[in-house]
Amino acid sequence: MSDPSLAELGRIIRRIEEKTASRRGPSRRVSREDLLGGIAQETEQGTVLVVRHRFELAYRHGHQPLGEARELGPRSLALLTRMEGPVPDGRRLLYLDAETTGLAGGTGTYAFLVGVGFFDEEAFEVRQYFMRDLDEEPALLAALEEVFGRFDGIVTYNGSGFDVPLLETRFVLARRRFPVDGFHLDLLGPARRLWSARLADCRLGTLEQHVLRFTREDDLPGAVIPSVYFDYLRRKHPGHLSRIFDHNRHDVLSLAALAGWLGSAVARAPAPCFHPEELAGMGRLLEVFDEERGLACYRMALAQGLATPWRERTLLRLAVFEKRRSRWDEARALWEEVISAGRLFDPRPWAEIAKVHEHRRRDLAAASAVVEEALLRARRVGAPAPVQAAFEHRLRRLTRRLAAGVAERPFPGD
């Protein structure tokens, strides 16, 4: 038998395709709802697409179980926000992240996808509200208003600088009352206190890798998300929309995981399992409402080998508290350690030690010697003119007092 011609092969392939199609039934185009796994939710302002995912409390985002965020107590939340007043617990928080048509903000920027997460019974639910077209914004805002009203506070990452003002603008333009006016935990602030000394930056993606041990697979970079959405609006085809939803969902999960990590950390601190830089950062978080634990974090960070320049900054913080308690010898020892350990000239410990000698120990000669050495170093490193002028003024005054034999009372206002 001779080989079949190309025309015959084509006819065979078409017959196979027709048989396969007849078994499947009539073909149809995949809808956005089917592709994204969402439903069209009815609101007073029309419909908006909502995609839901539920995660068990034991689910780990990286190494961090989501359930720890549910156990956040008012005390830990107050420490993380450094605020007084009514504070909710972890079960009453809404985690919020928005994808927008640009980063400039203003009235021309839309939040086309808003992801929220919350604890519901024994699970963490992520809901993503999506504008299939710009005219669905009223429906999206109506849906958000309903879900916001069910919680006592929100958690964001840099939300106070971007997400919340943008959403407030959209609500105002739509002549709706913005429903977020209570407790707001922006995790960027605590993150900077704990990790700015240790990590290259404090972007959420960086914390995912180094703190949560979570790595995104095939993640869509945030910078290209607006262009992907605009391409969808032009073509009315889902395209890469699913990757935007994945990116947003991971953001919401990271918010909950990071909040749980931070809440657990401030509740346990000080503990040797933390890095020295993290301990120093926890000291800054704790000292406002729990001074003793904050100071204990500073001391443990120093004992574990906190590096320059954060070591010197922490020594200065401890010295402030010792001075406040009138523990002058302890404060002076800390200032002297700053001087001996510091690579850069810092005028503060020199001035403080001179004050202790002059006003507490009544030793004008020792005070004068400290100021002379400080002025010499200030000139050597080219310290700012006001710094040098302050030491020159202090030295002249001490010289006059030494010449007059005056050492019996503190100098007013010094």
pLDDT at 147: 95
pLDDT at 32: 61
Residues 145 and 253 grouped into a single domain: yes
Write the Ramachandran bin of 106: left for phi over 0, alpha for psi from -120 to 50, otherwise beta: left
Does the structure show a pLDDT above 60 at 411? no
| Burial of 23 (C-beta count, 10 Å sphere; 0-12/13-18/19+) | exposed
Q: Residue 103's pLDDT band (boundaries 50, 70, 90)?
A: confident
Answer whether residue 19 is part of any domain.
no
pLDDT at 189: 94
pLDDT at 24: 46
Higher pLDDT, 191 or 197: 191
Does the structure show a pLDDT above 60 at 15? no
Q: Residue 355's pLDDT band (boundaries 50, 70, 90)?
A: very high
Residues 216 and 139 grouped into a single domain: yes
What is the mean predicted confidence (pLDDT) over 80-99? 90
Residue 111, CB-side half-sphere exposure with 13 Å CA sphere: 27
Domain count for the chain: 2
71 DSSP 8-state letter: T
Beta bridge mates, 153: 93, 183
Answer whether residue 294 is part of any domain.
yes
Write the Ramachandran bin of 216: left for phi over 0, alpha for psi from -120 to 50, otherwise beta: beta
pLDDT at 414: 53
DSSP calls for 330-359: HHHHHHHHHHHH-SS--HHHHHHHHHIIII
Q: Residue 35's pLDDT band (boundaries 50, 70, 90)?
A: low
Answer whether residue 323 is part of any domain.
yes
Write the Ramachandran bin of 158: left for phi over 0, alpha for psi from -120 to 50, otherwise beta: left
What is the mean predicted confidence (pLDDT) over 229-243? 86
Does the structure show a pLDDT above 70 at 313? yes
pLDDT at 33: 62
SS3 at position 75: helix
316 contacts: CB under 8 Å, gap ≥ 6: 334, 335, 338, 346, 348, 349
What is the edge-to-edge ordering of all strands in the sheet holding 183-186? 38-43, 46-56, 123-130, 111-120, 93-100, 153-156, 183-186
Residues 209 and 235 grouped into a single domain: yes
CATH number at residue 301: 1.25.40.10
Write the Ramachandran bin of 218: left for phi over 0, alpha for psi from -120 to 50, otherwise beta: left
Residues 192 and 339 grouped into a single domain: no
| Burial of 384 (C-beta count, 10 Å sphere; 0-12/13-18/19+) | exposed
Does the structure show a pLDDT above 80 at 22? no
| Burial of 279 (C-beta count, 10 Å sphere; 0-12/13-18/19+) | buried
Residues 73 and 153 grouped into a single domain: yes
pLDDT per residue over 289-306, tens digit each?
Answer: 899 999 999 999 999 999
Report the interhelical angle of 137-148 vs 163-173 (nearest 10°): 120
Does the structure show a pLDDT above 50 at 28? no
pLDDT per residue over 200-219, tens digit each?
Answer: 999 999 999 999 999 998 88
Of the candidate ranges 117-131, 290-304, 337-351, the one whose mean pLDDT is the lowest: 337-351
Q: Residue 13's pLDDT band (boundaries 50, 70, 90)?
A: very low
Rounded Cα–Cα distance for residues 230 and 70 (Å): 37
Does the structure show a pLDDT above 80 at 310? yes
Rounded Cα–Cα distance for residues 228 and 232 (Å): 6
Residues 70 and 201 grouped into a single domain: yes
Residues 331 and 183 grouped into a single domain: no
Answer whether residue 12 is part of any domain.
no
Rounded Cα–Cα distance for residues 48 and 43 (Å): 8
Q: Residue 31's pLDDT band (boundaries 50, 70, 90)?
A: low
> Do you know the residue count of the chain?
414
Question: Which of 208, 236, 268 delimits the end of a domain?
Answer: 268
**Tokens 């990271």 found at:** 254
pLDDT per residue over 137-146, tens digit each?
Answer: 999 999 999 9
pLDDT at 292: 94
Rounded Cα–Cα distance for residues 327 and 159 (Å): 42
Two tokens, residue 193: 């206190």
Higher pLDDT, 1 or 69: 69
Question: Which of 268, 296, 320 delimits the end of a domain?
Answer: 268
Answer whether residue 361 is part of any domain.
yes
| CB-CB neighbours of 140 under 10 Å | 28
Rounded Cα–Cα distance for residues 336 and 350 (Å): 8
Residues 196 and 145 grouped into a single domain: yes
Question: Which of 245, 268, 291 delimits the end of a domain?
Answer: 268
pLDDT at 38: 86
Q: Which domain holds residue 77?
A: 32-268
Residues 245 and 280 grouped into a single domain: no
pLDDT at 173: 94
pLDDT at 18: 53
Q: Are strands 46-56 and 64-65 parallel, antiparallel or unpaired?
A: unpaired
Rounded Cα–Cα distance for residues 22 and 15 (Å): 11
pLDDT at 275: 94
Question: Taking a C-beta distance cutoff of 8 angstroms, is the pair 391, 375 a contact?
Answer: yes
Of the candidate ranges 32-41, 145-154, 220-229, the one whose mean pLDDT is the lowest: 32-41
SS3 at position 61: strand
Smallest CA-to-CA distance from 75 within 255, 264, 256, 258 is with 264
Answer whether residue 14 is part of any domain.
no
pLDDT at 108: 83
Question: Taking a C-beta distance cutoff of 8 angstroms, is the pair 156, 172 a contact?
Answer: no
Residues 264 and 280 grouped into a single domain: no
CATH number at residue 210: 3.30.420.10
Q: Residue 413's pLDDT band (boundaries 50, 70, 90)?
A: very low
Answer whether residue 374 is part of any domain.
yes
Residues 139 and 161 grouped into a single domain: yes
Does the structure show a pLDDT above 50 at 29? no
Residues 141 and 284 grouped into a single domain: no
Q: How many helices (H) and strands (E) does the chain have?
A: 17, 9
Answer whether residue 335 is part of any domain.
yes
Q: Label each residue of 136-196 as H, E or C.
A: HHHHHHHHHHHHHCCCCEEEECCCCCCHHHHHHHHHHHCCCCCCCCCEEEECHHHHHHHHC
pLDDT per residue over 54-80, tens digit each?
Answer: 999 999 999 999 999 999 999 899 999
